[in-house]
Amino acid sequence: MPSPRMSVRILIVEEDRPAREAFLRVGIALGHECRAVENVEEALAALASESFGLCAVSLGLPADAFQTVHTAAQERGVPVYDLPSSGRGNGRSAMVDLPPHGVDLRNLLSELEDRLIGQALQRTGGNRNRAAGLLGMNRTTLVEKLRRRPVA
């Protein structure tokens, strides 16, 4: 079963206002404390004066601005997540940086899957067919995944 969600303070860096506001609403809806900024200068000022558990940076930023924010966050020990671009293509793809100590990928993916399945079931009131639709899978696949999960 999904583990309880931990609230994280997130810095969102996105130039496109509608995308920035959408990412902000999603973060808050998921129970996180979020601050959204629109450019590299605001991002650097926020990183210098505030504490964040995650820095979410738009792939749509110009390459030099994107790299500057990435580097500043990493120097402060803040993990960086690359947000999908709001339509401005630049050849970069979304990823989460590998921590210096590495990661147990199997465990991480299992936890992510459990969390998303739990959220889908909660959002649909336990309706497995609709939850499977939210997850982009067949109902039978979801049922099999639920059957293989240990009961908490």
User: What per-residue confidence (pLDDT) applies to 59?
Assistant: 78
What is the per-residue pLDDT for 104?
Answer: 74
Query: In whole numbers, what is the pLDDT of the chain averaged over residues?
Result: 82
Q: Which domains does the chain have, with CATH numbers?
A: 9-83 (3.40.50.2300), 105-148 (1.10.10.60)
pLDDT, tens only, 33-45:
999 999 999 999 9
| Res 28: pLDDT | 86
Task: Check residues 135 and 75 and name the one with the higher pLDDT.
Answer: 75
Strand stretches in 17-149, DSSP E: 33-37, 54-58, 80-83
Mean of the pLDDT values across residues 22-37?
Answer: 88
Q: Which two tokens stand for residue 31?
A: 């129970």
Give the pLDDT mean for 13-19. Answer: 88
CA dist list (Å): 146 to 19, 53, 93: 34, 31, 30
* 106 CB-contact burial (10 Å; exposed 0-12 / middle 13-18 / buried 19+): exposed
Task: Inform me whether the pLDDT recorded for 91 exceeds 80.
Answer: no
At 47 the pLDDT is: 96
